[in-house]
Structure 1
Amino acid sequence: MALFDLDHTLLPIDSDYAWGVFTQDIGWTDPAVFKRRNEEFFEHYKAGTLDIHDYVRFATDAVRERGPQAASAAHEMFMDKVIRPEIRPQALALVRSHQQAGHQVAIITATNEFVTGPIARAFGIDELIAVRLARGDDGWITGEIEGVPSAREGKVRRIDEWLAAQGMGWDAAEITFYSDSTNDLALLERVDHPVATNPDARLRAIAAERGWRILDLFAHP
């Protein structure tokens, strides 16, 4: 199996942060207030101190207010204007190399399923393990998280669930996991083949110390 983090791993950008900027650009949020809070949450994410429940409420607020049809149309624009230009050939080639080898491939991300579902499909990946959004009686998202969020140690728990749903345990799979961040250290330590991919400085140092593979898909700025 090959598992991929998404933001700064398969994509050279953070899709969650970029979606927030996009909603600001199309007039769905107050520019000054949203920009300040979005950047605060992003700094917490990079520092490993993000309260994901607070963040998801904030990040889905505009989507909840606009409703499913407007949200879907906006996401199509987001894919065309922001995401597809950032899907690099070398990232696609890495995914295809695992698929062509017959490996089961999945994206596991701390970004919510609304933002990441179409992105996974653009990479040709059917299996997406993302933050699940709870839905109300009307079938639309509430801003709350359903189940275990796929963030930090929660990624290990979600892979537990995913394997169990296939009637498997960790011993039955040989897993490679690609990630850029120490936020994913728990899962990197759990898999058979951790790959520090476009790693931040902290993960690069850990990978070098432990002899993990380091893969730079994208040029450093």
Structure 2
Amino acid sequence: MTHRLAIYDMDRTVTFTGTYTGFLVHVAARLAPWRLILLPLVPVVMLAYVLRLIKRHQLKEINQLLMIGGQVDRGKLMPHVESYADKVVDENVRAGALAQIARDKADGCRLVLATASYRLYVTPIAQRLGFDAVIATDHLNQDLRYVRAKIAGENCYDIGKLRMIKAWMAAEAIDRTQAYIRAYSDHVSDAPMLEFADIAIAANPHKPLAKLAAARGWTRVDWD
């Protein structure tokens, strides 16, 4: 094959825990500590999502509005984004994931991190871990001097993630018929991505994905 790709989900696949709430709290504590009094509202917003009163992208936008603000100067924000990336890499990355990333790199794979988390903070994490490309949820108007609490395009989740992977491959002139793809995820929402891959790996899977992986004959690994 002309192209060898290893595509990783991030939260709870490469990391032990999710990174989004931690990002919000980390930045709020440094930019505007008073916003931490709004932290109890975050579970309320999550409940609204669970009850299907709001959509997943709205969940992200509302929580960012609460904890960081609707419009934040990028210059003031980025030092805290970088320090959060350091924190994640130092404290929240699975050793088994690092070992597999190294093996895939040695095997000649192009390393791709595909995640529903925001590109804003995923990119510095990916750079520290040696990834070659990032596919992630974007903020609206990424090129402006400020960051808005608004998502641009799709949330990189479920079938939307697969569409974004395909769009990235098209932009990189990677023909699927000329690509060998390994994909790693912990969550059943990534079933479309795993089905798309040549080799699907359920990494640290929660129960629904573990059950699906057993039915599909996918490899299971536990990087704890």
TM-based fold match above 0.5? yes
CA drift of 1:214 comes to: 0.4
- Structure 1 residue runs of 5 or longer lacking an equivalent are none
- Give the distance between the partners of 2:181 and 2:163, measured in 1 at CA: 15
Task: Note closer, same or farther for the CA distance 1:115–1:49 as it changes in structure 2 (3 Å cut).
Answer: farther
How far off its partner does 1:190 sit? 1.8
Q: Which moved more, 1:126-135 or 1:54-63?
A: 54-63
Structure 2 residue 65 is matched with structure 1 residue 85: no
How far residue 137 of structure 1 moved from its aligned partner, in angstroms, is 8.0
Which stretches in structure 2 are left out of the alignment for 5+ residues?
Answer: none
Which residue of structure 2 aligns with residue 134 of structure 1? 140
Q: Is 1:6 aligned to residue 22 of structure 2?
A: no
Q: Does 1:207 align with 2:213?
A: yes
Aligned-pair distance for 1:65?
A: 4.0
Equivalent of 1:34 in 35, 39, 43: 39
Number of aligned residue pairs: 217
User: Aligned partners of 1:132, 1:25: CA distance in 2, in Å?
Assistant: 23
Structure 2 length normalisation: TM-score?
0.84
- Range 19-28 or range 103-112, more displaced: 19-28
How does the TM-score come out when normalised to structure 1?
0.85
Q: After superposition, what is the alpha-carbon deviation per residue over 1:176-206, rounded to whole angstroms, capped at 9, x for unaligned?
A: 1100001111111221111100001111111
Q: Distance in 2 between matches of 1:43 and 1:199?
A: 26
RMSD: 2.7
2:126 counterpart letter in structure 1 = A
- Give the partner amino acid of 1:19: F
Tell me if structure 2 keeps the 8 A contact 1:17–1:42: no
Structure 1 residues 74 and 88, CA gap change in structure 2 (3 angstroms): same
Post-superposition offset of 1:63: 5.7
CA contact (8 A) 1:177 1:193 kept: yes
Structure-2 residue corresponding to 1:109: 115
Q: Percent same amino acid at aligned positions?
A: 24
Q: Secondary structure at the residue paired with 1:6?
A: coil
What's the offset of the Cα at 1:43? 9.3
